[in-house]
C-alpha cells in the first residue's frame, strides 16, 4: 500500500538571498513560492523549504558514516533512483562541488542506498538519496 506523505517545512539561514535564489531556483531547479526581502519559499519535491536571510557562522560538525565524514546538520529528500541520477547530472552540469560524491552506500546490505552531499552557497549541507526498493527506507 502506498502512503501519501505530508510535506515537511524547513526554514534555515542563508547569507545572501540572491545567491540562494540562484542556487535553489537555478542550480537545483526548484520552483519558487512566496518571498519577501528577508526570505524565499521553495518547493523541494513537494516539501516547503524557506531560506531566511540570517547570516551565521559555519559549524563544520561531521559524523562518520560508511567511511565518509557526513556533515551535521544536513537535509534533503529521498528520491526515486531515476530522479536521483538526473539530479546528480544536473549538479555536475552546474559545476557543483560535492562534499561526498554520488555513490552507493552500504552496498549489499539492507540499507543500500545512493547518496550525495553538497553545500549551498551559505554552507548549508544537503543530502539527496535514493533506494532501489523504497520500502527498505527504515529497514533494519
Cell 548549508 found at:
124
Give the β-pairing of 39-44 and 9-14: unpaired
Predicted pLDDT at 58: 64
Reported as a single tens digit per residue, the pLDDT across 10-65 is 999 999 999 999 999 999 999 999 999 999 999 999 999 999 998 776 667 888 89
Predicted pLDDT at 111: 87
Predicted pLDDT at 61: 84
What number of other Cβ atoms are within 10 A of residue 88's Cβ?
Answer: 21
CA 21 and chain centroid, separation: 15
> What SS3 class is residue 90?
helix
pLDDT surpasses 90 at 138: no
Reported as a single tens digit per residue, the pLDDT across 85-129 is 999 999 999 999 999 999 999 999 988 999 999 999 999 999 999
pLDDT surpasses 70 at 2: no
Structure-model confidence comparison of residues 107 and 72, the more confident one: 107
End-to-end CA distance of the chain: 20
Domains of the chain: 9-136 (3.10.180.10)
Amino acid at each position: 500500500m502506498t502512503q501519501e506523505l505530508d510535506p515537511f517545512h524547513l526554514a534555515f539561514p542563508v547569507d545572501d538571498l540572491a545567491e540562494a535564489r540562484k542556487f535553489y531556483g537555478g542550480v537545483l531547479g526548484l520552483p519558487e513560492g512566496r518571498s519577501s526581502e528577508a526570505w524565499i519559499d521553495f518547493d523541494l519535491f513537494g516539501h516547503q523549504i524557506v531560506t531566511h536571510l540570517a547570516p551565521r557562522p559555519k559549524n563544520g560538525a561531521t559524523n562518520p558514516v560508511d567511511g565518509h565524514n557526513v556533515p551535521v546538520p544536513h537535509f534533503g529528500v529521498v528520491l526515486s533512483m531515476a530522479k536521483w541520477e538526473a539530479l546528480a547530472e544536473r549538479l555536475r552540469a552546474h559545476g557543483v562541488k560535492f562534499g561526498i560524491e554520488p555513490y552507493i552506500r552500504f552496498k549489499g546490505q539492507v540499507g543500500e542506498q545512493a547518496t550525495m552531499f553538497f553545500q549551498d552557497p551559505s554552507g548549508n549541507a544537503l543530502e539527496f538519496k535514493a533506494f532501489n526498493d523504497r520500502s527498505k527506507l527504515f529497514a533494519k
